[in-house]
Each structure stands twice: as C-alpha cells, then as structure tokens.
Amino acid sequence: MKSLLSIENLKVAYPHRPKQAIAWAINDVSLTIKPGDRLGLVGESGCGKSTLGRAVMRLLPPYSQIEGSVSFDGVPVFAMNSAEVRKFRGEKVALVFQDPMTRLDPLMTIGKHCTETLLSHQPQLSAKQAKEKAISTLEAVNIPPSRWNQYPHEFSGGMRQRVAIALALLLNPKLIVADEPTTSLDVTVAAQILKELTKLCQERDMALLLISHDLALVGEYCDRIGVMYQGSLVELNDSRSVLQQPQHEYTRSLLQSALRLHAADKPQGNILLKKSPLLKITNLQQHYTIEPNLIERLLKVPEQTIKAVDNVSLELYSGEILGLVGESGCGKSTLSRTILQLIRPTGGKVQLQDVELTTLSRQNLLQQRRQMQMVFQDPHACLNPTMTVGENIADPLLIYKLETPESSASQQALKMLERVGLVPAKEYYERYPSQLSGGQQQRVAIARAVITHPKLLICDEPVSMLDASIQAQVLDLMLELKQQFALTYLFITHDLFVAKFLCDRIAVMQAGQIVEIGATEDLFNNPQHPYTQTLLSAAPLLAQSSQNLGDNY
C-alpha cells in the first residue's frame, strides 16, 4: 500500500542565536504512515514528539532550521506555497491540540466555529448546507444540535475536546494529528473521546498520529508505537511487540516506570490518624448563579444555579496523602480553590488547625496561606516568565517576609533547587522557566510551594502533563519532601493509578459531591459506588497490554 505520510531523515532545530551550537529538537527521524494507520508516538517531555507533529503541519516557527523531507501523498510538504499549505491544513491533515480552550475563540459560538471553518475551505456551500454538514459532524462526536449557539466557556473540558475533534473532522482529512488530546481529562471522558476518535478514523479510513506520554493509552488505541528520546526515534514497532519485547533501553525504562505506577502495591508507611484533623471541611458549598439574558427575562425563565461544590465534608490528617478523583467538571479544582479561600464559599466551614478560614480578614488569611500552598497542573502557566527560576522560588519568602540575616531569600532558593534535584543550583537559578523542560518546571513549582515550610500542600493534577518516567521521578520527589518537611497532601488527579501509587485514602467526587471515600486498597479492591466502579473499569491498564512485562526485568 502506498504511504500517506513519509518522513525521511528529518532534522529540526528551533531558531537560535548566531554562533550558538545547533540543538536538534528532531534528529534524523524517518517513519511512514499508511491510510488507516494508527501510530502512537510516546516519549518524555522535550523529546521532540510535538515538534514532529508541527513539522508535518508546517507549523514550525519562522527561521527554524530544517533538513530532510516530509511528503504527503507524494507531494513535498516543505515545498508547498502559502496557498497550498492553507489547503493542505484541514483538507489533508488536521490537528487536535491538547488544550482546546486556548484554540477556540471565546467570542464565537460553537456553530460559528464550524461554519467559518467549512466556508473558508468550501465557499461554494450555502449557509444552510454548511450548517447541516456541521451539525452532522457535531452529532458524530455526540454534541447535540441544541448546543449550536453556546460558547466554549459553557462546555466542559471533555465537550470542548469533542468540538476540537469535530472541527478536525469537518473537511474529511486523510490524517489526524492528535497532540495529547486527553491529557487534562479524566479516564471516563478520555476513554469515550479516544473510542470515538479511533472509530471515526476507521469509518472514514483516516490515519491517526496520536502523540501522548501515556503508554497504556497508546497501547490500547494504536496499532503501532514509536518511542522518541532526545529528538531521535529509538524504537518503532507494532504495539504488542513494543509493550512485550521492547528493544531499546529507554523504552524498557519507560515501561518499568509506567508499570511501577500501575503496580498493586503503594509505598510503605501507614498513617496514624490523629483525633484532631489538620484540615476539616464541613458542609462546604460553592454555588454559582447564571442570570437569564434579556429574552429569558422577558419569558420569565428562572435563574439557574450550578452547585460546583455541594455540601462536601472531609477531614485530612497530618502526614496523610488524601487523593481526590473524579471526572472533569465535577468540582475538584473548585473545591481546592475554596479551601484556600481564593474564592469565598457560598456556605459551610473550612478549618485549618482549628482556625476558621471563612471568617478571616484578608490580612489574617494571608498569614494562614503560608501554611497552605498549591502546586498547579501547568507549571509553565503559573511561573512568572520574566523572572529567573531562582527569583520565582524566592518570591514567596519576600511576600511572607521570611528572609533572615543568616539566610537570604536567594540562599534559601539555592538550597531548595538542590533539594528538588536541579543541580548545579547556581546554573538553574539564573535560567528562565522557558529554558526548562516540563518536568524541570514542575520541580521549580514544587520548590516554590515548599520553601515557606507549609503544613498542607494542595496538588492539582501536578503530573498529568508529564510522561511516565518523569511522573515517577516527580512523585518520588514529593514523597521525599513529605518526609523531610512533614507535609500533608491533598492530591487532586484524574489518573487513578497515580492516586493508587501515592495516596493513603481516596475520595471520589461526582457532580460536586463526595460519593465515596476510603482507604486506597479498599477502594480499588471493593468499590461501593457505581460511579467509582465506572471510573475503575474505564482506566486503561498497562499490565494487561504488557502481560506481566515487569516479571521479565
């Protein structure tokens, strides 16, 4: 069968300063994709996976250095003029991004997104024909016509990703490049979306290039797996062979890291639950009111109330790691922000060491926040890009006035850099966040959170954007810091196996409520609530794909 996409000896380097040594983001990569193929591309952050996808789409920055060739249906991609590239994108190859919210125009309805895409490539269509085709495509990804006039912010993360897939399918491309399309989604929604995407690709005879850091997910939905490491394609074979008989040392280490997270046993160390909890949440509520628009007011449509957090009660004890899992939009992140009083609750109480936070003044709350710090999902978005790594870490010390004559903020920041494994510390201190990989950025974010010596660390999806090997490193670091600094974690995640690996207890959240809470082993071995059972059944299990691969090492 003739190749659809052919990449030969491709090398890509991003724009760099004169006289600076060339750093190849992609180094001599060759592969082919045939019609209907499903190829998964895995590897650590910074290995070149996304760069390869952008090279195929001609989306690299100006002045990037490129060697080798990429051809599609026998046509050289790098030789296309601007008009040909415009036709090529969307009609031949479509891209599904990781975060659809940053790619959708917040001022345009979903329907407008679809018709504008169609009419820009097929101006011969009438408005009616464009709408009919768009509605049909939206229905294919389970978005009903009733959502046509809604805006992106009115959709959950999973629904927005469905819109992104619909936009990719509109022009019936021959190849879809999906770059981490389910990273920020929970297991049930991720499973639904990938099942739909792979089914639609099969029905329409479209090829799929799935870029991901999740080996279990790629093993379940792709026929072949390519493994990238430091810009090179170090292994390429059918999924079964890669998962059961990996040839390259890096592939074996990646599988070992992933299998460790999927293993049955969690780290040693039982928690003695003390009588007095460190954090006590009682009947916490966070309700939002959606006011009717002018027409709805004329029609006397009542206000709509969204119960993002609905009468949640939790106790978290010193030294414990409590996991919080649930689907996107269930209220996990809202709960964390309400605990920190970043948003004031509609009702209920939040007590930290018997101090009622909901009634504190802003000044008193600032002092209490020193005891509660947060690690976010995307470190690049929460680190100040204009400040060096060292300045980012030292900043909380200046805010809380924790400098001492014996230990300046910069000295303490250097010590924290060493503690989180970023050495030589002086070199990393002077770098900027953009000069670090995703895993290194998350280490910086953790260092910044821990430097004030808090009692409680709230971690909101801190490893969801990292590959298995970097995930394991960061989780190991968090366990070490927990012991050294006597930390307590509220760990929010949609990855059940990360929660199983790390947490002492797990609380399951659905539609703003805690539907089940218990010891980790009990919850995995004997889930009581139907929703917990659904979550566990939806999670792809690497051990099934690799058939006890870990026994071979």
pLDDT given at position 548: 44
Angle at 499 between CA 493 and CA 503, to 5 degrees: 120
C-beta of residue 241 within 8 angstroms of C-beta of residue 281: no
Residue 489 confidence (pLDDT): 97
What does the pLDDT read at residue 257?
79
Q: What pLDDT, on the 0 to 100 scale, is given for residue 10?
A: 96
Question: Which superfamily is assigned to 35-47+85-259 in CATH?
Answer: P-loop containing nucleotide triphosphate hydrolases (3.40.50.300)
Q: Which of 184, 178, 166 is nearest to 54 (CA)?
A: 178
Neighbours of 355 (CB within 10 A): 14
Please state the domain extents for the chain: 35-47+85-259, 279-552
Q: Is 205 left (phi over 0), alpha (psi -120 to 50) or beta?
A: left
Sign of the four-CA dihedral 56, 62, 64, 69: positive
Which residues of the chain carry a pLDDT beneath 70? 184, 186, 262-275, 541-553
Query: Which pLDDT score is estimated for 330?
Result: 84
For residue 269, what pLDDT is reported?
Answer: 44
Q: What is the pLDDT of residue 275?
A: 64
Tokens of 177: 């490049």
What is the C-alpha separation between 84 and 66, in angstroms, rounded?
19
Say what the pLDDT of residue 341 is: 93
Output the pLDDT for position 541: 62
Q: Same fold for the domain at 35-47+85-259 and the one at 279-552?
A: yes
Question: CATH for 279-552?
Answer: 3.40.50.300
Give the tens place of pLDDT for each residue, 321-368: 999 998 777 888 899 999 999 999 999 999 999 899 999 998 899 889
pLDDT of residue 263: 65
The partner residues of 176 in beta bridges, in order of sequence, read 94, 208
